[in-house]
Amino acid sequence: MADFAQNGVIGTLHNLRNRSTDELEAELVEYSRETPMALLLPCLYSELEGPAMGPIVEQLSQVPYLSEIIIGLDRANEQQFDAARKFFSRLPQDHVVLWNDGTRLRHVDAALQQIGLAPGEPGKGRNVWYCLGYFLASQKSKAVALHDCDILTYERSMPARLLYPLAHPRFNYQFCKGYYYRAADGKLNGRVFRLLVIPLIRALKQVLGRLDYLDYIGSFRYALSGEFAMKSDLVQSLRIPADWGLEIGTLSEVFRTCSSNRICQVDIADAYDHKHQPVSEDNRATGLHRMANDISKAFYRKLAIEGVVFTSSLLRTLKACYYRTALDMVDHYHNDAVMSGLELDRHSEEATVELFSRVVLAAGDEFLSRPDEAPFIHNWSRVRSALPDIFDRILGAVQQDNA
């Protein structure tokens, strides 16, 4: 539902329903002469066999302003890579598939490992990092957008709205984050953001007092969205996490690099639905359990950089404050759902809050016990300094794979 509130330290660009996607795209075609634009799609091969990816490609085939589409493909053997190339061949734009499990890119990764600059673990963060490296190496575009590949409610307006704030010649933004509300099939979704991120930010403010970073991160309407866009000069200096704290970690890096008046968020969808992760209450290595742990540590790392001294007693206070805050918010979510005719299992919500409260403390203990943990992947400026021909290597590997 559209509104016009500007109640944070970053700009919020709403969808006030006065512009069609065709209008935005017509302007983007004009702006692309000065600011060529790319789209990055990090995906698993299994997502090509799912219900979302086919309609996404069908929508993207109608987009007229993109200079290139960069597809990062994980967990694919050679036969599956060939199938993926065929799958994406219907795209009329220039496009390449980065076969992250292929021999050539593995050789590039091995060269980076020898100098200690390779990503530490496989996953979305590593996939995105190599795709951003290719984006910089190709030099075809000055801005890049990224979105997930499991979106069941995808519309081509999403990349248009993400890129418009960066491409408009009279705007001054370097980074744009997408937001939306999470409800589908009569249910209120977005559990990690609703039940962990928002109440944890509020608890941190109550325990630590006012901090610029908490004001900033609390301004995002959906900080965990996988949809964002940025200018190429920001890509060079950005470090991104390799773990499930990718979204929060990226926003934290943007806070370090950009002034708040060059950061915005934009309403990109009336509805948004994608695959849902299990809670995995008994397994901290998967599902929402691991996601909550990595997100909590991402907050602690950033706040430590800002000068906050974490202790065991502070973490216990934070856990108690978070727990009470989150339970109060469950009341609001329940009432909101009832009034809107949506389902909300209150028992499940409160059980998830109880799990997250344990995670808040466990992640803090892990943070204190492993001060040398370094989940961030090195930025491309440092990589190029250490290995000056890295972009030539990436371009060569990708071009040969796609030949």
Q: What DSSP letter does each residue of 110-146 carry, written as one string?
A: HHHHHTT-S-SS-SHHHHHHHHHHHHHHH---SEEEE
Can you tell me the distance from the alpha carbon of 70 to that of 84, in angstroms, rounded to the nearest whole number? 13
* pTM greater than 0.85 (yes/no): yes
Neighbouring-strand partners of residue 184: 187
**Residues 375-392: pLDDT tens digits?**
789 999 999 999 999 999
Per-residue model confidence (pLDDT) at position 18: 85
Residues ≥6 apart with Cβ < 8 Å to 242: 119, 120, 121, 123, 125, 126, 129, 375, 376, 377
pLDDT (mean) for 173-179: 97
CB 140 within 8 A of CB 391: no
pLDDT (mean) for 73-98: 98
Reduced to 3 states, what is the DSSP secondary structure of residue 161?
A: helix
Confidence of residue 274 (pLDDT cuts 50, 70, 90): low
Per-residue model confidence (pLDDT) at position 276: 64
CA angle, residues 124, 218, 231, in degrees to nearest 5? 50
Can you tell me the distance from the alpha carbon of 272 to that of 90, in angstroms, rounded to the nearest whole number? 25
Confidence of residue 122 (pLDDT cuts 50, 70, 90): confident
Confidence of residue 287 (pLDDT cuts 50, 70, 90): confident
**Residues 288-333: pLDDT tens digits?**
899 999 999 999 999 999 999 999 999 999 999 999 999 999 999 9
Q: Residue 59 above 90 pLDDT?
A: yes
Conformation bin of residue 317: beta by default, left when phi > 0, alpha when psi is -120 to 50: alpha
Per-residue model confidence (pLDDT) at position 371: 75
CB 11 within 8 A of CB 265: yes
Q: How many CA atoms within 13 Å lie on the side-chain side of 401?
A: 31
Q: Residue 2 above 80 pLDDT?
A: no
Give the percent of the chain with pLDDT over 70: 98
Neighbouring-strand partners of residue 176: 229, 264
Backbone angles phi, psi at 231, to 5 degrees: -80, 155
CA angle, residues 256, 269, 84, in degrees to nearest 5? 85
Per-residue model confidence (pLDDT) at position 245: 80
Chain mean pLDDT for the chain: 94
- Render the burial of 176-201: b for 16+ CB within 10 Å, e for the rest: bbbbbebbeeeebbbbbbbbbbbbbb
Can you tell me the distance from the alpha carbon of 102 to that of 96, in angstroms, rounded to the nearest whole number? 14
Neighbours of 235 (CB within 10 A): 19
**Residues 347-372: pLDDT tens digits?**
999 999 999 999 999 999 999 998 77
CB 13 within 8 A of CB 121: no
Can you tell me the distance from the alpha carbon of 290 to that of 244, in angstroms, rounded to the nearest whole number? 7
**Ordered structural domains, the chain, with CATH:** 11-402 (3.90.550.10)
Residues ≥6 apart with Cβ < 8 Å to 67: 32, 36, 37, 38, 93, 94, 140, 141
